[in-house]
Structure 1
Amino acid sequence: MLDPGGTVRSWNTGAQRLKGYEPSEIIGEHFSRFYTQKDSSAGAPQAALAAALAEGRFEAEGWRVRKDGSRFWANVIIQAIRDERGDHVGFAKITRDLTERRSAEEALRRSEERFRMLVQGVTDYAIYMLDTAGNVASWNAGAERFKGYSESEIVGEHFSRFYTDEDRAAGIPATALETASAEGRFEAEGWRVRKDGTRFWASVVIDRIVNDQSELLGFTKVTRDLTERRNAQIELEQSREHFFQSQKMEAIGQLTGGVAHDFNNILAAILSSLRIAQRRISAGRESDSFIENAISAAERGATLTQRMLAFARKQELELEAVDLLSAVRDMTQLLQRTIGAGIAIRLAFPLQLPPVVADRSQLELAIMNLVVNARDAMPNGGTVTIGATKVEGGESAEDMVCLSVLDEGEGMDQATLTHAAEPFFTTKGVGKGTGLGLSMVKGMTEQFGGAFKLSSEEGRGTTVEICLRIANEESPADSIPPDTVTSPVAKTLRILAVDDDALILLNTVTILEDMGHQVHQASSGREALETLQREAIDLMITDYAMPHMNGAELVRRATAILPDLKIILASGYADLPHGEELALPRLSKPYSENDLNEVIRRLS
């Protein structure tokens, strides 16, 4: 492995045997030391990394240098490595010693007669010789078939006529021969031109031919017409993209009805409770219970939103102590609506179960995946059993809690079971599954520090177990419980509240004033900047999604005016759009008065 700059980060025994360096000698060194002095001076190592980063993969052959100074001919593959967000984190590099193979190939090429016997009957490849200047010296049937020139028309002509005008202007034919001459081999893909002017997508390999004294005699050139394969790959990629989009839309469609139902219930509870409270307040009657009812319903709506964001994978991993029974109970109705009325859900939990270490949102997504898989395994209906048991680890292992999802479906044979948790493996058929569900659950479980188990038998159903570590009771809580009220900040702050939503701005200002702070308000980034220029402000609380100037731009311009200004970013997004990195305290809407007070306390 290499880091993004080309420094060696790992070293296997094959590398040690091939190149002669111990891990302690080479880890931390730049990989360019394996190149010849000539290649290093020409920037070949940097060009290889740049090509791998741009194209995703770089492959070439050339001379490399061992620790003792001897040279060997190597096939090198460099692949760019990116994390799940698409950020570049390094390269994977594979090197093979092809010295013996290259020697054998050169010996074969020294016999021109054997070469002619070999290539003249080949029609799927254009195989021909070039002299040292690049002029065509021989021509086989395959070259004539898909380039269109007869031998008498092309022998003696320069091979650059097969290149496009753009490539000739860029000097690519000359570069190809220079590379083959210097490194022994040139390999590339690109557009080439037939005699009739039409283009085809070609794979081209040019090999250097030398005599026993290492004098250049010419080149062999092999060209393959990959137009059909390339078109098929493009169509496959387009089909795959359409397929993934249809899968996404199918999942959204399954959830839309249930989510709309839940939100309508929540809104009905909020509106009716507030109207009742309003009437009772006007009549001088007690209304606290209805206000509390509206608050509870709103909190249910916030929780539902968070679950939908988790399902869309818009939340960061946040490990905490999770009550499995509570988590499963809270999502049972959503699960039932997702899988339909033909499948029953049964819970099988003990009376007491310790909390486990997990990200609740991601765990709920995993359970959703497993239950949908169980439904698909029972096309004629049945029961999905969700349960959990505590497992004693013994002296050598810690105790764990294993959550299980069991179906009554057809089960899997041993061959299918062996591959079931591999990425993209699916038995559901085209258009009915991505093959990512079990692999996602397995990866998530391992991220939590747990274990994934899969058991199945033909005709007897399938059981998936997620075994998670028991939460340490001595671990500090990550956040303040909702029912804990912190005391207001002792000093009065001059605070600027910014939000384009008038209702939210009114409530934020009122909460801050009730805390005892001096509050200014702005409904746009422009108004906020005008206020900062004329007023002394200690703290700014701003929304992110605002027209004309979003929160990120406001933060940059505000800190240019007041470099020491403390800022809180409040947003309804679970994360900021790609490319926005703001190292600021964040409040996720909707937030409580206690949440707001606690963030202000930490900044004061």
Structure 2
Amino acid sequence: MNHAPDFESRNIATTAEAERARYHALFNAIDDGFCIIEFFDGPHGPLSDYVHTEANPGYERHTGIAGVVGKTLREIDPIEADRWIELYGSVLRTGEPIRFERYFLTAGRHIEVSAARVEPASLRQVSVLFRDVSARKKAEEALRASEALARVNSERVQLALAAGAIIGTWFWDLPNDRFTVDEPFAHVFGLDPAQGRDGLSLAQVIANVHPDDRGGLIHAISDVIQRGGHYAHQYRVRRADGRYYWIEANGRVDHGPDGTPLSFPGVLLDVEERRAVEAERDRAAASLRALNDTLEQRVIERTAELMRAEEQLRQAQKMEAVGQLTGGLAHDFNNLLAGVSGSLQLLSIRLSQGRLADVDKYVVAAQGAVRRAAALTHRLLAFSRRQTLDPRSTDVNALVNGMTDLIQRTVGPGIKVEAIGVAGLWPALVDAGQLENALLNLCINARDAMPNGGRITIETANKWIDRSAAHSHDMPEGQYLSLCVTDTGTGMSPDVIAKAFDPFFTTKPMGMGTGLGLSMIYGFAKQSGGQVRIYSEVGQGTTVCIYLPRFYGDVDSQTLDHDADSPIAGTEAGETILVVDDEPSVRMLITDVLEELGYTVIEAADSVAGLRLLQSNVRIDLLVSDVGLPGGMNGRQMADAARQTRPGLKVLFITGYAENSIIGNGHLEPGMQVMTKPFALETFSARVREMVDASS
């Protein structure tokens, strides 16, 4: 029996299988994009969509689209699906290949797309190649060189080899150590093409590699043969003109089931131009870094210069404000001191002359100047947020209602005053007396803005200040109650609003105002934890709103006593009062007043002497103490120390200036109260009587 035909068939099949394996290895080894798509009929008509049946690893690198195999075009690119279907569908219908350029945003590359029908047409398949247009000519040379090798599935393999700047291919049979190359490869390495077809040794192949690159190449080859998988390495090769050119070898080592290296196919890419571009890019990047470093230094220097200029400007503005402040103070206090000094001098002259009939008017004049000086001082302390406050839980609606008649009498009959209090107004922890002063001040300003009459509306409301409003109002988020005074007067321009809270700024004629009213209100509101804001347009009137934090507690039922002329009450029980103050004149005046009322008075000039008396067995019914004292302890500390042995001690602090933190930020212990210097002796006496009576 003759078995020759069977042997020949098997030999042909084996060869074909080897060729297919070789081409398939080449197809997967190349670094550029390729895919096969198959059309099908859908809801949009015949050939209305296609699915990717095959795609090499380079497809994702060139298009930026991952995982396309098994997906339809409408799943991948629903926006431009119809355009792609029309392009590739025409290839399938006509059999005519197409070629066009397109920028793939997902990959950031300009790609030349080539599409051809896979025969026979009944397969309904189109093959697509994606390649860099900058390598078109060299890719075409690689395509012609690969035509002799691509006898099986020639169109697919030719398209694969055409991807990128391919200038040669090789196939290394590792078990037999047979290195075969195509003619372009041999040309690049300066080899005989005939020897390249017959087989070469690795030493022959790398003979023209640059000496500096040969060691790295051998190491890279050994590494990929050992581990298998993808291979890519760049090195220089001496070509026919004697110069060295950069190339990149791309390939893949396949292992057998037992891990034995079997084949090593690959392609050569010309990267000379790419390396030159990269080198130029690196030089440009280095230049840019140097420029950025220089620019950064210039920016730092310029910023420092601007900061110095801004600091100088702030210092100049600060000095201008201080000059304006001291100038205004000097002017006002000189006038007040002239009234006090002149009254005292005339008082002394009249007393020496025995003319007692004229004494009272000079006393009244001096006291009036002192009251105005005290008011000016309070305004300054309020502006600086250093006034001594006596905050208590306050019903602001009740405060406004109690002030309405006084405000109406003050502004006159030509102006109508209307108070609108919201129901359920939250209480505020505030110095009610200072709030009354602020309200009266705002109403007087409103009156002055309406020379021909008008209307003043006083309105209260509960406010939720969210993050946005808190940012625009320069205040913390939270719950506030507002007290707003609105007039129908001349209004204020933006530049006037911007300066309204500055000390001594006023739009009134000389002698018609100190310019401290709004600055006092601003300082009082800030010191109370709130804010004040102005809303106005020229000719449309003005609204000034004081915002005070909501107080979570009961409203104090104590009302303010506005009667400063009540008679001085005395005592008949012989109570003892300790007066601690470092100012001798103040101690003398207070002692004289209290002794005239019948109290026994003990004096101390500092906290050490005062505490020694408080820790003795001497009867003390009330401690009257300044806050700022020499001796190492302030008045509050002395009082707290005394209460260790006298827990029920009543304390009245008297102060002209004090940080609220010294006396407890307004949160005084039970049995402690505070009065601000200067004060009317009648008011002082009434407060002492009230506190002594409470302890008896």
Q: Quick one: higher RCO (CA 8 Å, sep 6+), 1 or 2?
A: 2
Common fold by TM > 0.5: no
| TM-score (normalizing by structure 1) | 0.42
Task: Please report the TM-score for the alignment, with normalisation by the length of structure 2.
Answer: 0.37
